[in-house]
Structure 1
Amino acid sequence: MIAELGQAALILAFVVALLQAVLGFAGVAVRDPVFHGFARAGAMAQFVLIASAFACLTALFVVSDFSVLVVAQNSHTLKPFLYKLSGVWGNHEGSMLLWALILTGYTGALALLGQHVAPRLITLTFSVQSLITAAFLAFLIFTSNPFARLFPVPLDGADLNPLLQDPGLASHPPMLYAGYVGFSITFSFAVAALIEGRVDARWARIVRPWALTAWTFLTVGIALGASWAYYELGWGGWWAWDPVENASLMPWLAGTAFIHSLRVMEKRDTLKAWTILLALLTFSLSLAGTFLVRSGIITSVHAFAVDPERGVFILGILILVIGGSLVLYGLRAGHLKPTGVFAEVSRESTLLVNNLFLAAACALVFFGTFYPLFITTVSDETISIGAPFYHATFIPMMAVLFLLVPVSGMLAWKRGKLGPIAKKLAPAFIAALVAGLIALWIAEREVVAGAIGSALAVWVGLGVLLDLKSRVKLFEVDLAASWARAKRLPAGIWGMIVAHFGLAVLIFAVTGVSAWKDEASAFLMPGQAFELDGYSIELVDVVRSDRENFVSQAGTLAISRDGRELGHMVAERRFYPVREMATTESAIRTRLDGDLYVTIGEGVEGRGWAVHAYIYPLAVWLWIGSALLTLGGLLALGDRGRRALTSRDLAKRKPGEKTGAETP
């Protein structure tokens, strides 16, 4: 009965989405306010229905109802409760239902928070959003039904993929989807604006909080995925340019460009057509990532292999959503005339260059991800594009972009001067040069990459701090006055400073982990040890134990450094009998200067156990930098001066004044 209730809720939500889309467009055409009211009610109804369907599927996993196909394929009676819950979205059907839940959740949030957006604009936005929802619900109902029954009913389930039985993977997909799907709101606003034919600074203020929300969630999702890969895959591979990793990076790059472009549009009422295009492309790249993961055309530890029918359905959604929006853009973008002008040397110019570099970097990742798939499709040839391609193209492009970060924040709007900026940033330049030389001197290998990365990290980090110093006039006035100025800085400025400083921390961490890592391995009997960069790693013993749904072989390792005992670490190898799969649970000793990362493999008679150890310098700063980026997004989101139109904004308007959020 629970499955049938969930199925009914899905079908009702599909009908409501279609009705809302049709009636919304009709209401705009006939200018009837009754239709505007239905748009908000329909948005809330969709969310309630999808939430009910998701609750039904969750209940089926909790009670282990193996008469439902997706539960039988992805659960087991012995599976811990946490992974029964994460198993709801740890499969194709459930993850797409989660996608629909978040999609309708954003639409419902817009219905609650968008009270002061002009009725025509928000009704059009709801209608576009409902079309997207209807498309994905049709995909669920007709090709990926999460409530399909199974007969005969098996006595037990096939268990969840052991790689997904991890706390990081329990939270990673929801955060990632919240980022992907969040850009649907900005996409819908962009399509609505194209239909209306009017975009201005007020439209940018309406859209910017939604873009920041999606970007922040996507940042968290990518960081969680990277941390899971780091400790779960057994070799510290936090980023390997996997196609599915690239699928999340592309909308993040486009979204970053979009947020910066929105700031220019909000401040100077220019770059209108470009900003709208970025809004369309960012969500389009999110959909492309969905196609990549759900179509079954790639093999990845992150991907769900599915049948071709589903891939064709998703491809159809892509063609309709992306193709339709780009056709509309081609027809209407010419009407978006900018009013702001700016000089070659100005903050607008540097942000435009920032956008171009981010767009080019996104295009590189797109090419590296999809070109091998294209070649495989049109010929019998199989090619792969891996890390060397990105190291030779993407990273140098980002390095040039990083040079502009401190400069952009200090330049004035409309017309700036480079002379005073160069004087203010001179200490950052000198410190970066010194840092590069020091890195060049102390590193044993990959010296050039390490030196450049260190110099860039210091340049960006110190440059951002000098920008803050200039804004609060530190050491120019007394400390009390500087503190008062700091408290008066808008939250958006603090968000920019924190996020850019987090970027500097990430550059430093990536440099350390990539350029200065080291590793060693050996077969050890209990009591034997080997050395790595001053560490002594001794295998004490290996203990086998039966756990709830896996067999554990845990190796205890005694760690010392330069003769000083540092304690014990436990590395584990797990075997899941139901899936007949083994996983590696690494032992990690984290310090601010780097991680000691140890794994244990299978035992070989007469030789002992395979023990592999890695040194990852500055690894913990990957997560600190990601946290600072996220904090920057949250601070910018809290900037009251750049939120959507409020009743106070509307009250300040002159009688008869029109905005970009209203009917022309």
Structure 2
Amino acid sequence: MIVELGHFALILALFVAVMQAVLPIAGAARGPGGDATLMAVARPAAVAQALLVLAAYGALTLAFLDNDFSVRYVAANSNTALPAIYRAAAVWGGHEGSMLLWTLMLALWTLAVARFSRGLPPALRARVIGVLGAISVGFLLFLLFASNPFIRLLPPAMEGRDLNPLLQDPGMVFHPPQLYMGYVGFAVVFAFAVAALLGGRLDAAWARWARPWTTLAWSFLTLGILLGSAWAYYELGWGGWWFWDPVENASLMPWLAGTALMHSLAVTEKRGAFRAWTALLAIFTFSLSLLGTFLVRSGVLTSVHAFAVDPTRGVFILALLGAITGGALALYAWRAPRVSVRAAFAAVSRESFLLANNVLLAVAAATVLLGTLYPLLLDVLGLGKISVGPAYFEQVFVPLMAPAVLLMGVAPLVRWRHAALPDLAARLRWAAIGSLLVALALLAMLRNGSALTGLGLWLATWCVASGLTSLASRLRHRGWAALRQLPAGYYGMLLAHVGVGVFIAGVTLVKSQESLRELPMRAGEVVSVGGYAFRFEGVAPVRGPNYAAFRATLVASRDGRTVATLAPERRVYRSQDMPTTEAAIDNGFTRDLYVAIGEQVADGQWAVRLHVKPFVGWIWGGCVLMALGGLLAACDRRYRRRTVEVVTEAALPAPRPAVPLATTREPLR
């Protein structure tokens, strides 16, 4: 009965979403002030839809926890021996449940907009919630007609097939919801862009209203990518943290576009420039999130993340992608020329540097898109199968991101509208010299130095040095009282930029300095890797709740002192007879000791993979700092103001020579 109630809740949610999509937008279109009665439907409809989708999700969760194998989706993704925490996570472990989770996230984001949008003009609020309702209609139709998780299985299965063993991990509990929070969060700024185009008000006020939602979505997506990378690192047993897999690329593309969008919104809000470009970025960022959904959920990719094999689902998602993106682009082509305003700025100005940064990020996203889709396109056209691997992405992506990182450090120190090159050089000289000297000193200390390693170290130190220079410049002109006066958005920007530097340092050092050995080992044998001695103590059988395993014991020591005892496992899950590798990792601030075992290769010998990975934890530490910086910026109290200064072309004064920093307005960063 619970299952039928969940299905009925989804049907009701569809009807509510239709009303949410149609009535508020129709009300906003009636006259200068709109129809208040119709626009007032938006908020209660958003609340009702969120409650109904939440009820449907709760019903499916109960079916998993109760081992209700009369539900086809439960029987395909659960098992009585599966621990309860993974039964709850198995709700999004397959195609139908993952799309229900996506729909739930969309409903919750819409509810948040309805709750925290009291300061918006009523017509804009109605249009934003209406657009989000229209997106919900598409996904609810998909769930009910192409991917229904509540279909009964008659007769019921006696036992479930079990969740994919690779997904039976704590990463499964946290990674997909966090990633979806980022994916779906970009629907909010998409809705703001479409609502602004519908209302003909693409101005600074719109940018300020959209900016915190964009920053929040970007922060959630950053954390989602981090969790996925860390999960792959310790679960797959290869010791890698990024493989340029198409599924990974599907999350990287909206992240790059979202990064460009955040910076473009800053320019639109402060100077009234880039209005049309910002709206276009908002459309493309969410479109790339939908494209990632299509790639992963349509069955065109083979991956642990790719669940769908029914071509009907792929066609439905592709049609939904085409309708949302095509409709938004058609509206953009119609309305953008009428609402965009040209704002003048000099070639050397913060606007110019942020525009160049935007272009580099957009091109980087396009290169990832090309490398991801090109093999699929050739396969569809029957022109053969090719694989675009890490070599392509590293040779194309890195040269684009290096200048983007340099511009990232320069832009906060450049004045709006007009700056003088000598003044800019004076501001940056100590950051440039200091970062270069530190990078050269670090390079001289490394055992495997190269020009590429030196470039990575310089970019990493440049991010930190330029941020400190920016802060020191403000303190020099305003004194220590500036620490309390500077807005949270500025501190968030600094923290995120430092996080980029930490991330680059981790990537550079782990790629250039890691040590690896793969060899058979027997009990009592000692192998040296990266300055550490690993002693193989032996292998013993162990049993888990739904698997049998062989657990090895290795003792790592350095200079005769025991550092860690590591216990990697080779598991075989009974329900699917599928082996998995569980790596053992001793985490440290400056290095990880990483051990994984494979099959038994001879009497008493086991295949062993030994890694010493320096500074690999800095990769995820940098991502945490970036996400925290975004969350801090989104909490800036200025976003909570009910009135916003609107910047128009007429309000923009003519460019003037640069003035001392103490007389300029603080940017909302």
State the TM-score, normalizing by the size of structure 2: 0.94
Of residues 117-126 and 384-393 in structure 1, the stretch that sits farther from structure 2 once superposed is: 117-126
1:402 and 2:405 are equivalent in the alignment = yes
Structural mapping, 1:41-190, within 5 Å = 41-190=44-193
Point out where structure 2 has 5 or more consecutive residues left out of the alignment.
647-669
Contact 1:247 1:289 in 2 (8 A): yes
* Pairing 1:499–2:502 present: no
Q: Which amino acid is the alignment partner of residue 408 of structure 1?
A: A
The answer for the alignment partner of 1:368 in structure 2 is: 371
Compute the displacement of 1:427 (Å).
2.5
Distance 1:50 1:148 in 2: 17
Match of 2:304 in 1: 301
Aligned-partner residue type, residue 282 of structure 2: A
Question: Match of 1:560, SS?
Answer: strand
Q: Structure 2: how far apart are the matches of 1:577 and 1:405?
A: 51
2-side partners of 1:207 and 1:231: how far apart? Answer: 37
Q: Deviations over 1:472-492 (max 9, x none)?
A: 22xx88xxx42x211211001
CA contact (8 A) 1:78 1:549 kept: yes
Aligned-residue sequence identity (percent) comes to: 48
Aligned 8 A contact 1:450 1:516 in 2: no
In structure 1, what residue type is equivalent to 2:539?
Answer: V
- Aligned mates of 1:125, 1:558 — CA distance in 2: 58
Which residue in the other structure is 2:617 paired with?
620
**1:610 matches 2:613:** no
Distance 1:398 1:182 in 2: 25
Instruction: Give 1:658's aligned residue.
Output: none
Judged with a 3 Å threshold, the aligned counterparts in structure 2 of structure 1 residues 208 and 537 are, in CA distance, closer, same or farther, namely: same
Partner of 2:2: 2
Q: What CA distance in whole angstroms lies between the structure 1 residues aligned with 2:467 and 2:20? A: 47
Deviations 1:432-488 (A, max 9, x none): 333443454444446122111011111111111111111222xx88xxx42x21121
Offset of 1:418 from its aligned partner? 2.7
> Residues 644 and 336 (structure 1 numbering): CA distance in 2 closer, same or farther, change over 3 Å?
farther
Task: Tell me the CA shift for residue 163 of structure 1.
Answer: 0.8
CA distance in 2, matches of 1:345, 1:82: 55
Given that 2:218 and 2:259 are in contact with CA atoms closer than 8 Å, whether structure 1 keeps it comes out as yes
| Residue aligned with 2:567, SS | strand
Tell me, in whole angstroms, the C-alpha distance in 1 between the residues paired with 2:427 and 2:182.
Answer: 37
Q: Residue 526 of structure 2: which of 506, 526, 529 is its match?
A: 529
C-alpha distance in 2 between matches for 1:303 and 1:594: 33
Query: Which residue does 1:635 correspond to in 2?
Result: 632
**Alpha-carbon offset, residue 564 of structure 1:** 2.1
CA distance in 1, matches of 2:203, 2:65: 49
Alignment of 1:258-297 (within 5 A): 258-297=261-300
1:220 aligns with 2:223: yes
Secondary structure (helix, strand or coil) at the match of 2:218 reads helix
Residue in 2 that maps onto 1:326: 329
Distance (whole Å) between structure 2 residues aligned to residue 314 and residue 406 of structure 1: 40
- Paired with 1:5 and 1:43, the residues of 2 have a C-alpha distance of 20
Deviation at 1:336, TM superposition (A): 2.2
Do the aligned partners of 1:206 and 1:644 also contact (CA within 8 Å) in 2?
A: no
Alignment of 1:381-400 (within 5 A): 381-400=384-403
| 8 Å Cα contact 1:9-1:53 kept in structure 2 | yes
SS at match of 2:568: strand
Q: What is the SS of the residue equivalent to 2:625? A: helix
Distance in 1, matches of 2:426 and 2:23, equals 60
Provide the residue aligned with 2:426 in structure 1: 423
Supply the distance in 1 between the matched residues of 2:530 and 2:51 (Cα, whole angstroms).
Answer: 57
1:467 is aligned with what amino acid?
S
* Secondary structure at the counterpart of residue 204 of structure 1: helix
Indicate the residue corresponding to 1:250 in structure 2: 253
- Contact 1:506 1:622 (C-alpha < 8 Å) held by counterparts: yes
* Residue number among 204, 211, 214 corresponding to 1:211 in the alignment: 214
Q: Aligned equivalents of 2:106 and 2:611: distance in 1?
A: 41
**Which residue of the partner structure matches residue 451 of structure 1?**
454
- 1:413 deviation in Å? 1.0
Structure 2 letter corresponding to 1:144? S
Separation in 1 of the partners of 2:304 and 2:8?
33
Which runs of 5 or more residues in structure 1 are unaligned? 654-664
The aligned counterpart of 1:15 is: 15
Q: Where does residue 564 of structure 1 map in the other structure?
A: 561
SS at match of 1:88: helix
Q: Which residue identity is paired with 2:509?
A: G
Alignment match, 1:553? 550
Hey, what's the Cα distance between the residues in 1 that align with 2:366 and 2:508? 24
How has the CA–CA distance of structure 1 residues 206 and 644 changed in structure 2, closer, same or farther, with 3 Å as cutoff? farther
- List per-residue Cα deviations over 1:210-239 (Å, max 9, x = no partner): 111111110110000000011111012211
Which residue in the other structure is 2:344 paired with?
341
| Equivalent-residue separation in structure 2 for 1:568 and 1:444 (angstroms) | 27
Q: Which stretch of structure 1 is more off in the superposition, 67-76 or 610-619?
A: 610-619
**One-letter amino acid of the structure 2 residue matched with residue 368 of structure 1:** G
In the alignment, does 2:463 pair up with 1:460?
yes
Residue type of the partner of 2:579?
Answer: A
- Write the distance in 2 (CA, Å) between the matches of 1:184 and 1:106: 9
Calculate the TM-score normalised by the size of structure 1: 0.95
Q: Which residue of 2 aligns with 1:311?
A: 314
Contact 1:435 1:451 in 2 (8 A): no
Q: Deviation per CA, 1:259-307, whole angstroms, max 9, x where unpaired?
A: 1000001100111000000010000000000000001001123222421
What is the rounded CA distance, in whole Å, between the counterparts of 1:440 and 1:7 in structure 2? Answer: 61
Tell me which moved more, 233-242 or 443-452.
Answer: 443-452
**Amino acid paired to 1:6:** G
Shift of 1:23: 1.7
State the partner residue of 2:662: none
**RMSD over aligned Cα atoms:** 1.6
State the Cα distance separating 1:120 from its structure 2 match.
1.3
Partners in 2 of 1:365 and 1:90 — Cα distance? 26
Distance, in Å, in 2 between the alignment partners of 1:424 and 1:395 is 27
Deviation at 1:644, TM superposition (A): 5.3
Distance 1:580 1:180 in 2: 34
Contact kept in structure 1, 2:413 and 2:427, CA below 8 Å:
no
* Conservation of the 8 A alpha-carbon contact between 1:54 and 1:101: yes
Q: Secondary structure at the match of 1:87?
A: helix
Q: Distance in 2 between matches of 1:87 and 1:588?
A: 26
Specify the alignment match of 2:653 in structure 1. Answer: none
SS of the residue 1:147 aligns to: coil
Q: Give me the whole-angstrom Cα distance separating, in 2, the residues matched to 1:460 and 1:99.
A: 35
Q: Would the aligned equivalents of 1:521 and 1:610 in 2 still touch at CA under 8 Å?
A: yes
Offset at 1:567?
3.4
Q: State how far apart, in whole Å, the 2-side matches of 1:119 and 1:432 are.
A: 50
- Give the partner amino acid of 1:518: S
Q: Which amino acid aligns with 1:143?
A: A
2-structure distance, mates of 1:553, 1:606: 15
Of 242-251 and 541-550, deviating more is 541-550
The answer to whether structure 1 residue 472 and structure 2 residue 475 are counterparts is yes
Q: Does 1:574 align with 2:582?
A: no
